[in-house]
């Protein structure tokens, strides 16, 4: 059937070399921080094999993709198994493929009762709001990448936190308290 939209979800270690090459190529075209093909390929292979990659396909062509990275955070004595929302890209922008991608991620998280969160800049807040995510500015000051160079990490932090809360009520807990949340990995 023509014009059929399909969602495909693959773990990082299930991606084909073709998928990986496609993602890296698009990331270099899309994000200014991604410049070198070999370097980006290595980062993806080293760090994202446990992540779940979401592909929105139309007639088997990838229209948008993104990933949820499993991440364990200890906050106020409790362990939370969360997901980091990352690498959201629409190949054809303004056609609703980004929103379909976010919906697929929300469904995945809701089914598992998990919280997903990520960071974004001002220019993308409307997109996330329209896609049904919660967007909060002040929250970003509460997160801290506890990895590598702390100053560099602070500079890399984006302005807004976007999230979809699960049964763990992680964000509600964060909003009711005041401590810093240490993210035990490099920014995503």
Ligand X SMILES: CC(C)(COP(=O)(O)OP(=O)(O)OC[C@H]1O[C@@H](n2cnc3c(N)ncnc32)[C@H](O)[C@@H]1OP(=O)(O)O)[C@@H](O)C(=O)NCCC(=O)NCCS
Interface residues with ligand X (CB under 6 A) are: 30, 64, 88-90, 93-99, 120, 123-124, 126-127, 130-131
Q: 99 vs 136, which CB is nearer to ligand X?
A: 99
Whole-number minimum distance, CB 72 to ligand X, in Å?
22
Cα-to-chain-centroid distance, residue 18 = 21
Residue closer to ligand X, measured from CB, 15 or 56: 56
Nearer Cβ to ligand X (97/164): 97
Residue in the shown chain whose Cβ atom is closest to ligand X:
98
102: closest CA among 7, 14, 2, 4? 7
In the complex with ligand X, the residue whose CB is nearer, 45 or 99, is 99
End-to-end CA distance of the chain: 37
Min dist CB 130 to ligand X, Å, is: 4
Find all residues with CB under 8 Å of 100, minimum gap 6, and list them.
5, 7, 56, 63, 64
Give 79 or 126: the residue with its C-beta nearer to ligand X: 126
Judged by phi (left if over 0) then psi (alpha if -120 to 50, else beta), residue 133 lies in: beta
CB of 121 to ligand X, least distance (A): 7
Tokens of 125: 């807040």
Residue with tokens 């049904």: 132
Encoded tokens for 166 = 């699960």
Least separation in angstroms between residue 98's CB and ligand X is 2
* Cβ at position 176, least distance to ligand X in Å: 26
């Amino acid at each position: 059937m023509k014009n059929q939209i399909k969602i495909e979800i693959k773990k990082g270690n299930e991606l084909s070399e073709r998928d990986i090459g496609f993602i890296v190529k698009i990331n270099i075209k899309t994000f200014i921080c991604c410049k070198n093909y070999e370097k980006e390929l290595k980062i993806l292979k080293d760090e994202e094999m446990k992540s779940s990659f979401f592909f929105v396909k139309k007639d088997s062509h990838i229209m948008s993709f993104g990933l949820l990275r499993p991440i364990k955070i200890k906050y106020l004595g409790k362990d939370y198994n969360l997901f980091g929302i990352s690498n959201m890209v629409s190949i054809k922008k303004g056609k609703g493929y980004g929103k379909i991608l976010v919906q697929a991620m929300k469904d995945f998280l809701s089914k598992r009762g998990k919280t997903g969160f990520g960071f974004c800049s001002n220019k993308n807040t409307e997109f996330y709001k329209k896609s049904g995510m919660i967007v909060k500015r002040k929250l970003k000051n509460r997160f801290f990448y506890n990895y590598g160079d702390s100053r560099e990490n602070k500079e890399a932090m984006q302005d807004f936190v976007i999230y979809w809360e699960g049964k763990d009520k992680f964000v509600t807990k964060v909003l009711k308290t005041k401590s810093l949340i240490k993210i035990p990995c490099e920014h995503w």
